[in-house]
Amino acid sequence: MKKLISVVSSAFNEQDNIEELCTRIKQVCESLQDNYDYEQIILDNGSTDNTTQKLKDLAAIDNHIKVIINTRNFGHIRSPYYGMLQAKGDIIISIASDLQEPPELIIDFIKQWEQGYKVVLGQKTSSKENKLMFFIRTLYYKLLNLFNDSGTKLLEHCTGFGLYAREVIDKLKNLKEPYPYLRGLVCELGYEITCVQFCQNGRKNGTSKNSFYTLYDMAMLAFTNYSKVPLRIAAMSGFILSILSFCLALFYLVFKLLFWYHLPAGIAPILISVFFFFSVQLFFIGVLGEYLNAILTHIQNRPLVIEKERINF
Residue 256: count of CB within 10 angstroms of its CB: 13
Q: What are the pLDDT digits (tens) for 119-143?
A: 999 999 888 777 788 888 888 888 8
pTM of the model: 0.83
| Beta-carbon contacts of residue 145 (< 8 Å; ≥ 6 apart) | 153, 154, 156
Cα separation of 119 and 142, whole Å?
Answer: 22
CA distance 226 to 148: 6
Q: Could you tell me whether strands 36-44 and 65-70 are parallel, antiparallel, or unpaired per DSSP bridges?
A: parallel
Does the domain formed by 3-208+304-311 have CATH 3.90.550.10? yes
Domain range list for the chain: 3-208+304-311, 229-300
Q: How far apart are CA 89 and CA 262, in angstroms?
A: 82
> Which of these, 81, 101, 100, 69, lies nearest to 8 by C-alpha position?
81
- Please give the share of the chain, as a percent, with pLDDT higher than 70: 95
Cβ atoms 5, 38 nearer than 8 A: yes
24-50 pLDDT, tens digit each: 999 999 999 889 999 999 999 989 999
Region label for 303, one of left (φ > 0), alpha (ψ between -120 and 50) or beta (otherwise): beta
Tell me the average pLDDT across 231-236.
78
